[in-house]
A = this chain, B = another copy of it.
Amino acid sequence: MKKIQRKTLIIDIINHNQVFSQEQLASLLLSEGVEVTQTTLSRDLAELNILKGSSGYVIQEQVAITGSKNLNDIEKVISQYVVYISPAASLVVLKTNPGHAQLVGFELDSVKVNEIVGNVSGDDTIFIATPSIQDALALSELFKQWIH
């Protein structure tokens, strides 16, 4: 089990359950066949920017600026999770299956490309802001090559 798959599962579980502790989350993961310690979950949740309140863990709508990874690093995530790509003015809109958008959004956050100014990701949709309509078209084409 890869870390990224575990993270995806965490997002999915938290989107569909009231989770009040990391031990509980560990149990839920275990019932999906994933075994991890509370320690690792503490770190996963921090990396995923998942918040905790009185009604359990919540995943925030994420607004992000670009980070520092290489574009190649994001190719596998896009090819694995993105099911639809479309430019929309200076935006690129990506669609995923429910619960996967956050993960793609987070990975995008760590990519540093001039064409990506930032992104907002919900449950199954990611908006990527680019500097121009041309950039949005170019980025859109690039992504489309990856999922073909």
Which A residues lie at the B interface, using CB under 8 A?
45-47, 49-55, 58, 60
- Contact among B47, B51, B55 with A52 in the assembled complex (CB-CB below 8 Å): B51
Q: A49-B53, A51-B52, A60-B60 are in contact. List 9 more A-B contacts (CB 8 A).
A: A45-B54, A46-B54, A47-B54, A49-B54, A49-B55, A50-B53, A51-B51, A51-B58, A52-B52
Query: Which residue in chain B gives the minimum CB-CB distance to A47?
Result: B54
Can you pick out 16 interface pairs between chain A and chain B where the beta carbons lie within 8 Å of each other?
Answer: A45-B54, A46-B53, A46-B54, A47-B54, A49-B53, A49-B54, A49-B55, A50-B53, A51-B51, A51-B52, A51-B53, A51-B58, A52-B52, A52-B53, A53-B60, A60-B60
When chains A and B are docked, how far (Å) is the Cα of A53 from the Cα of B50? 6
When chains A and B are docked, how far (Å) is the Cα of A49 from the Cα of B71? 38
**Which of A46, A54, A55 gathers the greatest number of chain B CB atoms within 10 Å?**
A54
Q: How far is the CB of A17 from chain B (nearest CB, A)?
A: 17
When chains A and B are docked, how far (Å) is the Cα of A50 from the Cα of B51? 10
Query: Which residue in chain B gives the minimum CB-CB distance to A52?
Result: B52
Residues of B within 8 A of A47 (CB): 54
User: Top 3 closest A-B pairs, CB basis?
Assistant: A46-B54, A51-B51, A51-B53
Residues of B within 8 A of A45 (CB): 54
Q: How far is the CB of A139 from chain B (nearest CB, A)?
A: 28
When chains A and B are docked, how far (Å) is the Cα of A49 from the Cα of B49? 17
